[in-house]
Amino acid sequence: MTAEDYLEGQVILIDKPLNWTSFQVVNKIRWIIRKEFGIKKIKVGHAGTLDPLATGLLILCTGRFTKKIETYQAQEKEYTGTITLGATTPSYDLESEIDQRFDVTKITSKDIHEATTKFIGNIQQQPPVFSALKKDGKRLYDYAREGKEVEIPTRTIHISEFEITGIDLPDVKFRVVCSKGTYIRSLAHDFGKALDNGAHLSELRRTRIGDFIVENAISIEEFAKQISS
């Protein structure tokens, strides 16, 4: 691969590591390409943010292929992860401390499987207040960190599959296939409500975007080795 190849456009599949932001991955890949080829400037962007506590498939586009980002973002996505019942957090995941606890002893396996049926098809979902969405020109997480309450409108999303793959209370393992704009953190929070309980997302991995699968993705370190070999 040459500098011209990356400037013309490449699709790079990265398996995002835990505790990295998607923005940090983009910056690192851009730096690796610039350093290897001595390029002063190259466009690199990603097709769909993953939260720092999530791992998995991140599609990166370079050069002229950055024009394809919106097309990739619009494609169906698949995730696996863990919903932890019995506790809620303001961010709906482990980025914030537990603020409420619930008893999970009466929740049955049947209850959990039945609750998934409430989320199949087109549903209304409210994004988490700890998110990068903007309201009146300001990020929602900025309002949240300031302790300000803000009204967040619901949005229509589509969930085509919601499968429970393991139950070891309070942890529930799942696989979900969903449309663009779906917040799995919100799904975890709402899943707890559907069980008259509380829940938060404790683990998340993106396994597919359209026809791209995480098995074909590489680590940042592997990319650095590939580009220099």
The 3 state secondary structure assigned to the chain is: CCHHHHHHCCEEEEEECCCCCHHHHHHHHHHHHHHHHCCCCCCEEECCCCCCCEEEEEEEEEHHHHHHHHHHHCCCEEEEEEEEECEECCCCCCCCCCCEECCCCCCCHHHHHHHHHHHCEEEEECCCCCCCCEECCEEHHHHHHCCCCCCCCCEEEEEEEEEEEEEECCEEEEEEEECCCCCHHHHHHHHHHHCCCCEEEEEEEEEEECCEEHHHCECHHHHHHHHHC
**Percent of residues, the chain, with pLDDT higher than 90:** 83
| pLDDT interval class at 227 (50, 70, 90) | very high
Over residues 12-18, the mean pLDDT reads 98
Amino acid 136: pLDDT: 66
pLDDT score, position 144? 61
pLDDT digit string (tens) for 114-124?
999 999 999 99
Average pLDDT of the chain to the nearest whole number: 93
Q: What is the mean pLDDT of residues 150-175?
A: 94
Question: If you average pLDDT over residues 60-64, what whole number do you get?
Answer: 97
Query: Same CATH topology for 3-74+211-228 and 77-209?
Result: yes
Pull the structure tokens for residue 145: 């960190």
Q: Quick check: 152 pLDDT over 80?
A: no
Say which CATH class 3-74+211-228 falls into: alpha beta
Do residues 86 and 170 touch, judged by C-beta distance below 8 A?
A: yes
Judge contact between 44 and 58, C-beta under 8 A. no
- Catalytic residue, candidates 5, 15, 51, 111: 51
What is residue 80's predicted lDDT score, i.e. its pLDDT? 98
What residue spans define the domains of the chain? 3-74+211-228, 77-209
Q: What is the pTM of this model?
A: 0.92
Q: What's the CATH code, domain 77-209?
A: 3.30.2350.10
Cis amide prior to 52 (ω within 30 degrees): no
Alpha-carbon gap, residue 199 to 96, rounded angstroms: 13
Does residue 113 contact residue 103 with C-beta atoms inside 8 Å? no
Tell me what pLDDT residue 161 has: 98
Q: Is 51 a catalytic residue?
A: yes
